[in-house]
Structure 1
């Protein structure tokens, strides 16, 4: 009994009235931090002291409502980053909300501390707070429209949240991460508010909210949902992350446009067979024919690829650009470098006109390869595309592979190895399988003569990635290189047959000539 006030009272002997008189004679301000933790007898004594209206101030601190009628009630304001400089991570985790800072310092769950604060709110305030937490940036007008609130109701709710230090004047939620984790425990509320907000936001901002509210989509929502998915998938492709675009589109509502976009992302991820399978169910259009031509070429069917590319000519800019690029690759494979250079240049112009930066880079890269084949210096041939590809890791990987290949053709082995190693790092970072496989194969070629164990490891990695991508040509090349390294003639012959069956006749002749030279040694 009286343990809370014992430091002030000293001797606890005597009646409650005697203790009260002793406390009233303190004549100094009294601060009690943590009213709810005080013992019942001390609380009773302080209640009687309040009735006496002493000359000195008594300040009670605690959570919840004040236990007595008070002259002044204050909410603790949010703490700033400098206030919490001595507590690493506290401001970032809590937004400076005092109750959350306390929980943080004690190692208690922040979500529970936030829930205790939110219990003091009415239904309108809780919904406004939750909606603001869900938004990527504060927008009180959107919140009002989504919740169907009158202006006065929104103003009162906002003022209450401001008074409690839960939001800033702009509506930005303090400690937003904690608020979002708290909402995970109220999925029905989070989904309902997410859908209402997503319907009002521009497509780019709406996607995270639509994904959270997936269970509540109505048929009328689907066109906007698709547009939101398509926007971000195209943005991921533009930035050079095709694998993430494939994963994103798995959750999109199905449509022919979604299937075509996903096939394009699969192609950019070097998953050619999966992409072609997806296109087979779509109606033939210049867009599908152009992509089909690319896939058929990579899978080893150059004649079929040429026919599909020619069928796409005259279509929309992007379709014609893709078709021209494929025709250029076919020409380059046949040794017609000048024709390929002209086709790649036309494709680059169309891609640039269509605003497709990543595909423009692809065409520039192919044009640089053609220039290198025609006898240009490697650095000069690739200077333009290297500068243009600075912000696209998958494009950089392919460019660096071709730079390495150019150096390798000139027997500039240290420069070639550096380019191949950097290409592998960038390719794996962006999820592009083909550049990584090509670069590993290039490293195997460099090490083929003097480092057989390292060469075998490199060829094996190239083979694994090529098979994962479904790239028939690259698979056969890696198999042939392994067979040559090990002197395995049957395996070598099988690789040549695979190239011939896939339509890569020029490459098959080269590999067969190498094999026959080896056998005559």
Structure 2
């Protein structure tokens, strides 16, 4: 029995058509064991009893014996699924096996109504699987193209473009398709041109067919060899693949005799110079006395021993012929003419746009690039020649940005000498810099060619990287964590998310923490991230799920719960929590002081609020949280305006200080425009400030900040008797605040709109709701304003 999700929803060998249980089963198959409470809130958030709805659907799944396992508070899928098998094949680089399972878009044709969170998961999963199918088709297309199997290559290219469930092709995928189809009359080329035009993407012009080893950028070496006098030896050295043989092939057309190394009988390499068998070194030296002879010998290391002996004698005697010898190592013979070959420079490749970025100037990769062969396949073959240490090191370096050589050495279990020698070779070939920076995009494409090796490399790197740089590697290897990895993994995720929070990206921090091992510290920071994104309901759920008993919550969780109560508009709960925090006897933190200030502000105790906000600002700065500090300082400025200070003077410093913190600046600007409206500033100043506020709120996805700004802007229009504009702004504010859980802000906006539209019943209901949540002061203020 297998769950089939690609192209529809069914169970192999069984007639079962209940779509919601099948969706639940698919979620468990792909996401792994889940807490019952999370499943209930995700699948039935609007149900009267979500846990009961979950139980009913799990009962329906009993018609599929052994499909799920219910154990305590968790539910796990035991049935295999085609989607998971598809992913396993993709991860193990088995594109043909993966594509054999992809019969259509994930859960295509599902006919049930989904809530937004569940619909987002479904669409994201569908797109992710479709992208993986596209990547598999592209891999197959490039493989067949490289082997001259054009019908198969074109078929896979067509399938890659039209993968069911996939979004439009990325620019990178368009270029890969163009490499396969661009020089043909395939019908899809017209579509590729149109898509590229819409993306302002320049498709490469058709390139002429070049030799397998094109000679580009070796003008200096050719000039040096042309000027070499008779009787002299030039030594040409480089690691494999940097064009030594290509250079000699070019010499063959310019009067040079080129002999490849032979490892057979004595003097086998030099034998082609004589019509008779060479019996001694003297015979060979006599052949080299001809001053007209220009002889190039390829590959010193693979020559027979007798030939190397003769060439050593020739270096001492200078018999007459001009000699050029290629080798992988520096000179083994005394010569002033040493020509080390390096990777080609951007200047060398200026006639081939994009070639240097793709190949790093490596001649072997360049030949593949110019001939249309996928360069990563050529690099793969070249690394096989160099050896496993070179492949592993290049993959490890390509997986890091920037590379950490100490962590890399430990991850690959290399000795310092081995690391230095291997990195030196990669650097000489133009694939890396001496400090490990990868120079070619081809090396990064190698990561996709070896997904399992890449994933395991990320895992080893994560275990040896410092906490500050380890999280991207933990995330890339998330399916391979072992129990002993979890503490270090959680610490790295926490540090990474904390930096995202401090840089003004709480939504990114929340996503990071969702993927991390769920330790207490991770969940605490996740709650703050959810709160910062405006999702106070989710933050409160995190508090309740992690520490369900309020009386036993650690102090940091009590502070988070208090912040949630403030955002959700439950002032009665906020008072109780702050009283509890006061009784602990611990010194107050910046957040606690700020929350006390907010409570005082809500209760119209302005003088006390101003003092508390000043203290909070100082504490935030001492704790290294300047973004939080500017919010507190903007509230001080707003209260100073209430005391008669001019708006621009009050806000000048804090407006300047908030510029590095876009999300926090929304709050600062909201307080600023509120103060402008309250002091009846000129419309030109007010409207410009509001425009900046709502624009920045939209850019930072700050729903609460945007709602507060639109509401205050609506008040400005309301007072100016522009009722149509006021109603429009109030409704924009209501649309933004819905779903944030901010009861106070929602009630404030609704009361403004109800007053504008003379909806007395709605206004009364809103005031009752605010009063029941502890907002008596706000409710009374609204009533007093209406009675004026």
User: Aligning the two structures, in what range does the TM-score lie when normalised by the shorter sequence?
Assistant: 0.7 to 0.9
Q: Does 1:345 align with 2:599?
A: no
Alpha-carbon distance change, 277 to 32 in structure 1, aligned in 2, over 3 angstroms: closer
Judge conservation of contact 1:404–1:418 (CA < 8 Å) in 2. no
- Separation in 2, partners of 1:261, 1:139: 28
Residue segments in structure 1 that go unaligned for 5+ positions in a row: 6-30, 37-44
- Separation in 1, partners of 2:778, 2:610: 20
Q: Give the equivalent residue in structure 1 for 2:59.
A: none
Q: Give the equivalent residue in structure 2 for 1:153.
A: 418
Alpha-carbon distance change, 434 to 205 in structure 1, aligned in 2, over 3 angstroms: same
- Separation in 2, partners of 1:284, 1:204: 29
Q: Give the equivalent residue in structure 1 for 2:561.
A: 292
CA deviation after TM superposition for structure 1 residue 150, in Å:
3.3
CA deviation after TM superposition for structure 1 residue 477, in Å:
2.0
Q: Give the equivalent residue in structure 1 for 2:526.
A: 262
1 or 2 for the larger relative contact order (CA 8 Å, sep ≥6)?
1
CA deviation after TM superposition for structure 1 residue 406, in Å:
0.6
| Structure having the larger proportion of residues in helix | 1
- Choose from 55, 68, 72 the match for 2:293: 55
Q: Give the equivalent residue in structure 2 for 1:95.
A: 360
Judge conservation of contact 1:243–1:432 (CA < 8 Å) in 2. no
- Separation in 1, partners of 2:639, 2:775: 18
Q: Does 1:242 align with 2:506?
A: yes
TM-score by length of 1: 0.81
Q: Give the equivalent residue in structure 1 for 2:435.
A: 170
Q: Give the equivalent residue in structure 1 for 2:448.
A: 184
Q: Give the equivalent residue in structure 1 for 2:730.
A: 459
Q: Give the equivalent residue in structure 2 for 1:391.
A: 660
- Separation in 2, partners of 1:142, 1:178: 23
Q: How does 1:92-491 map to 2 (within 5 A)?
A: 92-105=357-370, 109-175=374-440, 177-280=441-544, 281-282=546-547, 283-313=552-582, 320-412=589-681, 413-448=683-718, 449=720, 451-491=722-762
Name the SS of the counterpart of 1:71 in structure 2. strand
- Separation in 2, partners of 1:258, 1:469: 22
1:7-66 superposed Cα distances (whole Å, 9 cap, x missing partner): xxxxxxxxxxxxxxxxxxxxxxxx996999xxxxxxxx9989992488346799xxxx99
Judge conservation of contact 1:287–1:315 (CA < 8 Å) in 2. no
1:346-397 superposed Cα distances (whole Å, 9 cap, x missing partner): 2222222222222222222222222222222212222232222221101111
Alpha-carbon distance change, 437 to 92 in structure 1, aligned in 2, over 3 angstroms: farther
Q: Give the equivalent residue in structure 2 for 1:77.
A: 342
Judge conservation of contact 2:248–2:296 (CA < 8 Å) in 1. no
- Separation in 2, partners of 1:219, 1:389: 42
Judge conservation of contact 1:287–1:316 (CA < 8 Å) in 2. no
Judge conservation of contact 1:369–1:381 (CA < 8 Å) in 2. yes
Which stretch of structure 1 is more off in the superposition, 332-341 or 378-387? 378-387
Residue segments in structure 2 that go unaligned for 5+ positions in a row: 1-209, 212-243, 250-257, 261-268, 275-291, 309-323, 329-339
Alpha-carbon distance change, 100 to 383 in structure 1, aligned in 2, over 3 angstroms: farther
